[in-house]
């Protein structure tokens, strides 16, 4: 090897220099020694790497904010080299990894060099395993079209929500993505693309999202189902709220603690409706809130045991024109709207005998408020819905309807971060009847984290106008519903 010959030459010539060495000879000898030291260091590094030891080079994590204890170590893998001829140089057998895996409120894959490799993926999941039992107080109910239907006792185990979510960015930090998969046993045991969209973040004040997500109308609908006080959302909220749609969404902050969402999309309730089942109208929605006393957080219950009172105030509005009948068949979206007694608006005879509604416009407005302090918390929301410009295939006694409702709920942590109790009242009222819900329940966090929760509640229903298998409430229900649930997330 070259360094061996150089070393022998140096050893051989050193005694000959003696006292008569010139400056040029001394400089040449020093150069030879430096070269030998460099080659020896390189060989030692290669040997250490082959034995699985390497000298780390620190790459700062952007989240570390200069804290050296949070710096990331790039990894080196020893890759087996393919066979080569004796006279061919050996290929490089070491490979430096560009990404690392970590856990940060979800499993993440991130690059060591975010500028060179602008990609990130976060992986989250959660599930709700539930048992519910309903004991009826009546045997049947009759809708406004004169059709009598049975009310059944029922009980069942249910996987209500089993979800996996992938989110992050690619190509550029501004270009984001989110895919949320949802499966449950009351949805034909099928996996559904619940959310999926691409986004471009112009600034903290504005992000454009293109895809499918919730229509931003009503507060607790936009909040995660993992954060409800009882096992599910209030009955009145589920009656008035819109659903999901495909469209354009604008999301951002305003001021220090304000947030807004705006949308133009296909419909009020067009979650999985194909284009062939959509009408020729677009839906518009807007929602915003402000936290005047400081950041309120994701929880409506005071899990964090706030040392200062916190308040959130907000409102929302939706405008959605509907074409209810195409070729004699009700569209799925319009079929979602019900009278205050639970009768489908597009059901033949709903407003007049033998007459079927075929178009109408929906206007929804909601106001909401929430407060929490030292384990105590209260939240409420009011709903106002106008159904106007109602047209049908025959004469109608009225061409507009007004429906209203609200819920109020509150609770207290008996053991901070471990055990809380909650109560709720909600109501739906209108021209064709009134439905009510009374409920109370408790949540236990056995691992002292909000990511694992065991819940139990009891709900008294009167003349339910809601049909929603997610909350286990059926239209016409009058009776007692008991639910217990295990929930975990990562």
In this prediction, residue 36 has a pLDDT band, given cuts at 50, 70 and 90, of confident
Residues of each domain in the chain carrying CATH 2.40.160.10: 127-160+190-489
Beta carbons of 341 and 465 less than 8 angstroms apart: yes
- Kindly report, residue by residue over 72-117, the tens digit of the pLDDT: 556 665 555 555 555 555 555 566 788 999 999 899 999 988 999 9
Question: In this predicted model, which residue has the larger pLDDT, 468 or 25?
Answer: 468
Helix 2-17 vs helix 23-50: angle between axes, to the nearest 10 degrees?
A: 150
Global pTM?
0.81
Condensed to tens digits (0 to 9), the pLDDT of residues 336-365 reads 899 999 999 999 999 999 999 989 999 999
Collapse the DSSP code of 31 into the 3-class scheme (helix H, G, I; strand E, B; otherwise coil) and give the result. Answer: helix
pLDDT of residue 274: 67
Is 361 buried (19+), middle (13-18) or exposed (0-12) by CB count in 10 A? middle
- How many residues does the structure list for the chain? 490
Q: Rounded to whole angstroms, how far apart are CA atoms 160 and 180? A: 15
Domain 127-160+190-489, CATH number (from 3.40.50.970, 3.50.50.60, 2.60.200.30, 2.40.160.10): 2.40.160.10
Instruction: Give tens-digit pLDDT for 445-458.
Output: 999 999 999 999 99
């Amino acid at each position: 090897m070259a360094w061996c010959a150089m070393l022998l030459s140096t050893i051989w010539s050193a005694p000959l220099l003696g006292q008569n060495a010139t400056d040029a000879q001394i400089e040449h000898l020093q150069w030879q020694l430096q070269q030998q030291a460099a080659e020896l260091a390189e060989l030692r590094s290669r040997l250490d790497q082959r034995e699985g030891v390497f000298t780390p080079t620190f790459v700062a994590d952007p989240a570390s904010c200069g804290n050296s204890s949070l710096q990331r170590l790039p990894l080196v893998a020893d890759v087996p080299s393919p066979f080569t001829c004796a006279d061919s140089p050996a290929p490089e057998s070491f490979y430096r990894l560009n990404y690392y895996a970590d856990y940060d409120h979800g499993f993440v894959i991130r690059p060591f060099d975010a500028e060179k490799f602008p990609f990130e993926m976060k992986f989250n999941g959660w599930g709700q395993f539930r048992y519910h039992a309903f004991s009826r107080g009546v045997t049947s109910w009759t809708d406004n079209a004169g059709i009598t239907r049975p009310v059944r006792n029922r009980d069942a185990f249910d996987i209500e929500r089993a979800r996996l979510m992938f989110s992050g960015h690619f190509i550029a930090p501004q270009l984001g993505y989110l895919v949320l998969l949802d499966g449950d046993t009351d949805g034909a045991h099928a996996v559904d693309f619940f959310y999926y969209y691409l986004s471009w973040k112009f600034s903290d004040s504005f992000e454009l999202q293109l895809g499918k997500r919730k229509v931003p109308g009503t507060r607790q609908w936009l909040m995660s189902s993992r954060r409800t006080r009882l096992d599910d959302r209030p009955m009145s909220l589920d009656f008035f709220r819109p659903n999901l749609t495909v469209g354009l969404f604008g999301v951002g902050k305003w001021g220090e603690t304000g947030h807004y969402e705006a949308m133009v999309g296909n419909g009020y309730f067009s979650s999985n409706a194909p284009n062939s089942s959509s009408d020729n109208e677009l839906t518009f929605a807007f929602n915003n809130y402000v936290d005047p006393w400081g950041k309120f957080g994701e929880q409506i219950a005071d899990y964090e045991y706030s040392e200062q009172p916190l308040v959130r105030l907000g409102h929302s509005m939706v405008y959605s024109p509907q074409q209810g009948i195409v070729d004699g068949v009700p569209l799925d979206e319009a079929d979602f709207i019900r009278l205050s007694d639970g009768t489908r608006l597009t059901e033949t005879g709903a407003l007049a005998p033998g007459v079927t509604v075929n178009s109408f416009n929906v206007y929804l407005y909601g106001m909401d408020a929430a407060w929490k302090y030292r384990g105590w918390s209260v939240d409420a929301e009011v709903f106002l819905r106008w159904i106007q410009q109602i047209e049908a295939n025959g004469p109608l006694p009225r061409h507009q309807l007004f429906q209203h409702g609200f819920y109020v709920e509150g609770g207290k942590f008996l053991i901070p971060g471990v055990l809380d109790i909650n109560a709720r009242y909600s109501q739906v009222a209108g021209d064709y009847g009134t439905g009510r819900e009374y409920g109370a329940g408790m949540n236990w966090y056995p691992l002292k984290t909000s990511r694992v929760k065991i819940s139990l509640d009891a709900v008294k229903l009167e003349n339910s106008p809601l049909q929603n298998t997610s909350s286990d409430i059926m239209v016409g229900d009058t009776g007692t519903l008991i639910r217990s649930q295990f929930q975990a997330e990562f």
